Amino acid sequence: MKYEYVETFGSAVQKHSERLVVSEPSGEGGQRTKRQVPALHLDHLLIGSRGVSISSDALELCCERGIPVTIVDRRGKPVGKFTAPAIHGTSRTRRAQIRAYENGLGVTFARSVVIGKAANQAINLKYFAKNRRERSPDQYETLRKSAEAIDRVARRAKKISANCIDEVRQPLMVLEAEASRIYWSSLSALYGSSSGFVHREQRGTKNPVNAALNYAYGVLTGEVWTACLLAGLEPYAGFLHADRPGRLSFVLDLIEEFRPVVADRVVFALAAKGWRIEQEENGWLSLASKNKLLASLAERLDSPEPDRGRRRKLRNVIQRQAYAAAQHFLGNETYVPYKQRW
């Protein structure tokens, strides 16, 4: 998988034959070609700065080749997306998704999301613990007990049931928060002394690990958003995440089970290897750190993982889960969350 990330103010993206040409200001009032990217080898174009221009020919090439163009802010959060209309599926799935809000299928989906996220958080802790059994038995035992506690939270979530999501959203969110508190506390105890990760922070963080996590979640959001569109789902009609103007509520639902699998696994693996995360004065990642993180995320998304008797790239697993959600709302199958192997 290849991301092309364009951030420098004044950059331009144009088309030449079957390639995207990225140019940057030359310092002499003109533009100089920085790189050329064959469309055949490109999976996602990220525009990460104000002052970047892209030609209509370049946008047309991206549409023809199925390359989503996502505009992200400096923290990696998607603020807009450009795709071909043909990939948005039919209205039948969207109608079924809306009906699921009050027919029980939305509750089943939201419950599965919470169970899947908790399961993958527990698996991450088991994964980080497995090499510590002999060399650090205390850490191993602490991580094992934390994973078991998260698994117990997931089992409690399985008992929640109702017809309308409004009746169970709060209890599900409470359980999700309980599992996350155990998870982040465990990771802080494991990596805090070496990386400075004390607790999970979102907006306005100056902590390098949290800044990397936030950026990774933003990139993952763009991937899940695209998967939802390809499956014909409505990105704004969520279940676990309540409706809010401009909020990608369903994308935020579907992303939950993949946060530990993709973003957390990548960031903490890099932290364990001593990655020095460079930041700007406001706490945002430097361009070099963004490129390092993007390369690692792309590698992770391209890694083949066991999935229902087959091995699929994680990016294909995400797409398959989006299709599974669509089939769930249509009443053709029960949604089963993806659980990684460790």
Could you tell me which of 313, 271, 269 has the C-alpha nearest to residue 124? 269
Instruction: Characterise 21 by phi-psi region: left (phi > 0), alpha (psi -120 to 50), beta (else).
Output: beta
Q: Of 112-126, 134-148, 183-197, which one has max mean pLDDT?
A: 112-126
Supply the pTM of this predicted model.
0.86
pLDDT digits (tens, 9 = 90+) for 259-306: 999 999 999 999 888 888 998 888 789 989 998 999 999 999 999 998
Residue with the larger pLDDT of the pair 7 and 223 = 223
Mean pLDDT for the stretch of residues 205-213:
91
Indicate whether 250 pLDDT > 90. yes
Mean pLDDT of all residues in the chain?
A: 90
| C-alpha span between 199 and 315 (Å, rounded) | 28
3-state DSSP percent of the chain in helix, strand and coil, to 5: 55, 15, 30
Could you tell me which of 177, 167, 171 has the C-alpha nearest to residue 256? 177
Indicate whether 28 pLDDT > 80. no
Mean pLDDT for the stretch of residues 13-33:
84
H/E element holding 304? Answer: strand 304-307
Number of H helices, E strands in the chain: 10, 10
Mean pLDDT for the stretch of residues 27-50:
82
Indicate whether 63 pLDDT > 90. no
Residue 336 structure tokens: 């089963």
Strand 53-54, strand 12-16: pairing: parallel
Tracing tokens 């089970």 back to the chain, one arrives at: 257
Asked if residue 71 lies in contact with residue 62, where contact means CB atoms within 8 angstroms, the answer is no
| C-alpha span between 154 and 256 (Å, rounded) | 14
Predicted pLDDT of residue 82: 83
Quickly list H helices, the chain.
56-64, 91-99, 105-129, 137-157, 169-195, 208-230, 249-255, 265-272, 287-301, 314-329
Share of the chain above pLDDT 90, in %: 57
Predicted pLDDT of residue 29: 67
Predicted pLDDT of residue 84: 74
CATH number of the 91-329 domain: 1.20.120.920
Which CATH superfamily groups domain 3-67? CRISPR-associated endonuclease Cas1, N-terminal domain (3.100.10.20)
pLDDT band at 1 (very low <50, low <70, confident <90, very high): low
pLDDT digits (tens, 9 = 90+) for 124-165: 999 999 888 888 888 899 999 999 999 999 999 999 999 999
Predicted pLDDT of residue 86: 61
Residue with the larger pLDDT of the pair 33 and 145 = 145
Instruction: Sketch the domain layout of the chain as residue ranges.
Output: 3-67, 91-329
Predicted pLDDT of residue 202: 83
